[in-house]
């Protein structure tokens, strides 16, 4: 009787140890920050920085990501975005809508922190 009870305890202990190992190893396999896609805020900041050199002032609340692609081999994230701009060159502050496809890359900014950029 004692031998049977001991066998059950050993089997249960082994099973619990195996389950704990599987749980812990699964937690370590989360995606690295490098592989995670850009957030909507990241996309907005990169697009505003990119367009600021041209004649377009983006109205941030109008920015919509219409399509998100999977990460490509070069590390970029392809996106389609739709937004409204105010034309800086126009004296009447004319608004226009823009639909475009971009690729975001993670790079190191001038402060040494990672940032998303459009290339």
Domain locations along the chain: 1-30, 33-118
Q: CA-CA distance, 93 to 73, in Å (whole number)? A: 41
As a whole number of angstroms, the longest Cα–Cα distance in the chain is 94
Which pTM was predicted?
A: 0.66
54-98: pLDDT as tens digits: 788 888 899 999 999 999 999 999 999 999 998 877 676 788 899
- Looking at every residue in the chain, the average pLDDT score rounds to 80
């Amino acid at each position: 009787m004692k031998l049977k009870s001991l066998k059950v305890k050993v089997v249960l202990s082994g099973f619990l140890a195996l389950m704990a190992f599987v749980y812990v190893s699964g937690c370590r396999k989360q995606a690295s920050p490098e592989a995670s896609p850009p957030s909507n805020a990241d996309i907005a900041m990169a697009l505003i920085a990119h367009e600021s050199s041209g004649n377009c002032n983006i109205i941030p609340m109008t920015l919509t990501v219409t399509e998100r692609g999977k990460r490509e081999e070069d590390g970029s994230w392809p996106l389609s975005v739709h937004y409204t701009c105010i034309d800086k060159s126009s004296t009447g502050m004319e608004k226009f809508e823009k639909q475009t496809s971009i690729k975001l890359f993670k790079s190191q900014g001038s402060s040494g922190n990672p940032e998303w950029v459009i290339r």
